[in-house]
Amino acid sequence: MTLANEILMLLRANKKYSKEVSLYEPIGVDKDGETVSLLDVIEMENKETLETIILKQDIKELYEVFDSCLKDNEKTIIGMRYGLHGGREYTQREIADLMGISRSYSAVIIGIKMPGNNLSNYR
């Protein structure tokens, strides 16, 4: 086989990749002299999309742990306190009155199971 044939075969083999472009391929230089890649200039249509997907996944995992790790009365107390599952937030006094327990007992459940956390941000 001649060198010309080998080159021709190589070009034909690589033809299927000729239209592929790497997102990391340099396409120019910015004003500071830094290389700019295609990935740097592609703008997402909705920047919140990825963040929203990650947040929803985190919330789903949080609820799974919530459901698997707590007893029913603990789920009820913590759910009421932080307004989980779309409910409203209750004070410890309201929880105690509704559940027929002391306010200090509801505070103990919330303090032991959720120390230093504010779940109201995850609704």
The domain segmentation of the chain, as residue ranges, is 3-41, 48-117
Confidence of residue 114 (pLDDT cuts 50, 70, 90): low
73 touches 99 (CB < 8 A): yes
- The pTM assigned to this predicted structure is 0.49
Sign of CA dihedral 91, 92, 93, 98: positive
- Cβ density class 39-54: b for 16+ within 10 Å, e for less: eeeeeeeeeeeeeeee
Task: For tokens 């021709």, name the residue.
Answer: 8
pLDDT at 100 over 90: yes
Say if domain 48-117 classifies as CATH 2.40.340.10.
no
74-99 pLDDT tens trace: 889 989 998 988 889 999 999 999 99
Of the ranges 21-30, 36-45, 55-64, which one carries the lowest mean pLDDT score? 36-45
When pLDDT is cut at 50, 70 and 90, the band that residue 123 belongs to is very low
Burial 58-87 (b: 16+ CB within 10 A, else e): eeeeeeeebeeebeeebbbbbbbbbebeee
